[in-house]
Structures are given as structure tokens and as C-alpha cells.
Amino acid sequence: MKPRKIPQRKCIVCQHTLTKKEMVRVVRTPEGAVEVDVTGKKNGRGAYLCGKMEGFLQAKKTKAFDRALKVSMTPEDYERLEQDFNAIQARYATINCGRNTAHES
């Protein structure tokens, strides 16, 4: 029995590969705004990360979004994203992004 192929994405923070469903998509819209994409269907360049606030904070600290989305984000952009992220992170409570990464690679 072959498992069905499920689309997977790599977390820009911890580099773990998870299914799209387990990850939060952040998208740079054609207008140049960066936002959390809850539907996963918005147009634009996307980056994925585990749905953990810890992971988000690490991305903020290391400017992982700037690199992944090839954009220069202002502190206000991060502030807004953080609020959006905070609102949805409860859905992803089982994932431990930002943890257990130091001794795994």
C-alpha cells in the first residue's frame, strides 16, 4: 500500500517539513503587503511556518519573512502579522515550532 502523496511545505523557521494543513501561510500580495493567508489560496509569493507563536517570534527576530518573501518588512508589518497570527495559532497547538531545533540538525 502506497501512502497518498500529501503536499508538504518546509517551515521557514525550524526547517521541519509538514503538510500544508499544519502550517500557516504568509503571503506577499501583488500589492506588496504581507499578510497571514488563512485560506492558503491568496495570490502572491508565499512562505510557510508552523503555527506556533514561538516560531513566529523567531521569524520576527531573524527576519525570516523578509528573506523568504524577498521583501523589506517594517516593524508595523510584523506587528500586524503578529496580531493575525495570534488570532489563529490556537488551531495549531500540537506543533512545536521553535523548539527542539538546536540539537536536531
Binding site for Zn ion (CB under 5 A): 11, 13-14, 50, 55, 97
Q: How far is the CB of 48 from Zn ion (least distance, A)?
A: 9
Q: What are phi and psi of 65, to 5 degrees?
A: -70, -40
Closer CB to Zn ion, residue 1 or residue 6?
6
Closer CB to Zn ion, residue 33 or residue 63?
63
Residue of 74, 79, 62, 80 whose CA lies nearest to 11: 62
Q: How far is the CB of 45 from Zn ion (least distance, A)?
A: 19
Amino acid code (one letter) for 95:
I
The sign of the CA dihedral 79, 80, 86, 91 is negative
Q: How far is the CB of 97 from Zn ion (least distance, A)?
A: 3
Q: Which residues contact 31 (CB under 8 A, 6 or more apart)?
A: none
Closer CB to Zn ion, residue 76 or residue 94?
94
